[in-house]
Amino acid sequence: MKKLGELLVRSDGGSEIVMGNTAIVRAMLEAGVRVVTSYPGSPTPEIAEAIASIPQDQNPLYFEFSTNEKVATEVAFGAAVNGHLSTVFFKSVGINVAADSFVQLGHMELIGGMVIVLGDDPGANSSQNEQDNRHYARLSYIPVLEPATPTEVYVMFKEAARLSQERRMPVILRLTTHVCHAKEKVAFAAWKPQAVDDTPRFSPQNGPYVPITAKVFPLKRKALEKLADFAQYADTSGLNTLVDNGNRKRGIITMGGPFLSLMDVLADAAAKPDILKLGIVHPVPRNLIADFLRKHDEVKILEELDDVLERDVKAVAFELGLVVKITGKTDVDDWMNEYTPGKVEAVLRKVWPDMVPLAAKDSRCTREYPELPPRPPQMCPGCGHRSAFYAIKQALAEHDISVGDIGCHSLGHLEPYNMGQVLLCMGHSSGTAAGLSLFNRTRKVVAFIGDSTFFHAGLPGIINALYNKHTFTLIILENGTTAMTGHQDHPGVGKNFNGASEKIPIRRVLEGLGVTSIREVDAYQQAKLKEAVAEALAEEKFNVVIAKHPCMLKLTREMKKSGRPQPHPVEVTSTCNQSHNCVADFACPTFQREADGSVRVHTDLCIGDGSCRQTCPVGAIAYKTTERPKEE
């Protein structure tokens, strides 16, 4: 059986079952992409994993995880204006970080071509909101293609690359979580690496590339003209599909993931509506939409998140004076969450109840698969953040204020830790903490930030705290990786995607900025960490506590892979007085409180790290002397 990387570089193409995030990498190879950049974030990090799987001697792609999305966008832009086809990808909220540079791309002459892959997240599966990035496309005058399946991801990326090179403009490929992670048998074309001319092609004459006042309006005019020309292409493109069910009364206009859900819902419908599935969602194919509207009495717009397509369709009908009933979103619920089959069924029933009558419940499903109780997300067993929060909470007064940030440690806001009572976005914690500290003489302010976020977006807030003399304590939770998105490296690790790299120690960066009060403690040393935080809180200035401990999920995986023996799990001995600190306060998922008050240890979860032992007031937690149970 061939490995993933070997499948991706097969010269004869062939058909393989792959996820959307994998199909896109094969498309990159076939399209001739040279430079790929990113900052990790779900639902797109598997793109990097697929790139990493390609044998080094067969991989024509240069890839890097940049320090943040803005820098990733700029690296890809620089490659594009130097004549190299480039791609940048990131998750939905990543475009907010990139926005300052991103909104300029549509004005630029990208001689090498550039495809921007956005992983939007309806349902907020791994994001702090459900933002619809089609708005950014409109703001930036950049066209958007939207696939529904892994095959369409593959096909549309290649088309996006072709269009971008041909028109010297950026093109967005908008994916959503289900499309990124869906699997399908995709037929690849034949491909062989071509000789590459790496001669630098950058020239100011291809621009201008300096958008000062005198140049802004010519640049904007060119961007608008390119978009208008792209709209003509959209009207004739085969990326848009008409499903003709012979229903001249009812029609549906949709795209992407909602289309697949719609097809599921309509599988047993007696009178199926006609369906116009758009592959190009900005600028919309106006003539195609107008023709569809003319042929139907009622048209439903089915789209996830915001009413972007709905407004475009209604504008077409208004401008042309078309007499057709157009129904978009009918209530607040239509604006929220993923359009899974159940959601689409509910949405359609509000408009056409006769088309999707209530399905009879299968009693067997209710009996065999009862509804599971909700379970909150948890930090992993042995996570250093849990140990840190347990210690830090003891150093804080109940009325003190803690500010969270993005990362695994965001879960600290949950019970029983209650650490991180406010959160906006990556890197916000120092700035928000600074504001909370103003005119505040009675409540201490503590901000948290992870080591990866420190490099991503944390430095400006720290510099601001020093520059404007704000008084709060910043606790850097350093676990040596970008853990939340799959253990990618960062500048403080000493290696990058391509190998060894210069390590940039966090303490040295802080000292270079002028931070004079820095304490470093292993997060497992709870008493010392509590003392360090208490000392920091007593100082009337900005200071930093670095709570360090390796990500234990990453470490234990590396131990297993290398064949190193695993530590024995812990057990609760007979000296337990049922104070339940291990369950109620430390809250490691390894521990379970039984009905009789006793505490059970799940040995299949326990990693034997021992961070829990110091939390027991009577020392009832000890290492088991028997061997760790063998995994099946």
403 pLDDT above the threshold of 60: yes
If you average pLDDT over residues 589-611, what whole number do you get? 93
Give domain status of residue 126, yes or no.
yes
Residue 89 CA to residue 172 CA, distance in Å, equals 10
The mean pLDDT value of the chain amounts to: 93
If you average pLDDT over residues 423-427, what whole number do you get? 93
CATH value at residue 274:
3.40.50.920
User: Based on the domain organization, do 328 and 311 belong to the same domain?
Assistant: yes
Residue 403, helix vs strand vs coil: strand
User: Based on the domain organization, do 591 and 474 belong to the same domain?
Assistant: no
Give domain status of residue 368, yes or no.
no
CATH value at residue 576:
3.30.70.20
User: Based on the domain organization, do 232 and 248 belong to the same domain?
Assistant: no
Two tokens at 623? 């290492």
Q: Where are the beta strands (DSSP E) in 479-578?
A: 495-496, 499-500, 518-522, 543-548, 570-572
CATH value at residue 37:
3.40.50.970
Reported as a single tens digit per residue, the pLDDT across 308-358 is 999 999 999 999 999 999 999 999 999 999 999 999 999 999 999 998 765
Q: Are 134 and 311 in contact (CB under 8 A)?
A: no
User: Based on the domain organization, do 186 and 204 belong to the same domain?
Assistant: yes
- Please tell me the total count of domains within the chain: 4
Give domain status of residue 369, yes or no.
no
User: Based on the domain organization, do 248 and 395 belong to the same domain?
Assistant: no
User: Based on the domain organization, do 548 and 576 belong to the same domain?
Assistant: no
Range of the structural domain that residue 42 is part of? 4-236
If you average pLDDT over residues 516-522, what whole number do you get? 97
Q: By CB neighbour count within 10 A (0-12 exposed, 13-18 middle, 19+ buried), where does 243 fall?
A: middle
Give me the sign of the Cα torsion angle 175, 176, 181, 185.
negative
622 pLDDT above the threshold of 90: yes
Residue 122 CA to residue 304 CA, distance in Å, equals 7
Give domain status of residue 629, yes or no.
no
Give domain status of residue 334, yes or no.
yes
User: Based on the domain organization, do 35 and 182 belong to the same domain?
Assistant: yes
460 backbone dihedrals φ, ψ, rounded to 5°: -60, -40
Quick one: what percent of the chain has pLDDT higher than 70?
96
If you average pLDDT over residues 415-420, what whole number do you get? 92
List the one residue out of 145, 182, 149, 141 whose CA is nearest residue 161. 145
Two tokens at 275? 């369906």
Question: Residue 360: its pLDDT value, please?
Answer: 40
Give domain status of residue 372, yes or no.
no
Give domain status of residue 361, yes or no.
no
User: Based on the domain organization, do 598 and 479 belong to the same domain?
Assistant: no
Q: Of the residues 236, 269, 293, which one is the last residue of a structural domain? A: 236
User: Based on the domain organization, do 584 and 551 belong to the same domain?
Assistant: no
Question: Residue 362: its pLDDT value, please?
Answer: 41
Residue 19 CA to residue 9 CA, distance in Å, equals 16
Q: Of the residues 172, 205, 236, which one is the last residue of a structural domain? A: 236
If you average pLDDT over residues 235-240, what whole number do you get? 97
Q: Of the residues 184, 211, 236, which one is the last residue of a structural domain? A: 236
Give domain status of residue 376, yes or no.
no
431 pLDDT above the threshold of 90: yes
User: Based on the domain organization, do 508 and 615 belong to the same domain?
Assistant: no
Residue 62 CA to residue 80 CA, distance in Å, equals 13
434 pLDDT above the threshold of 90: yes
User: Based on the domain organization, do 544 and 577 belong to the same domain?
Assistant: no
User: Based on the domain organization, do 584 and 545 belong to the same domain?
Assistant: no
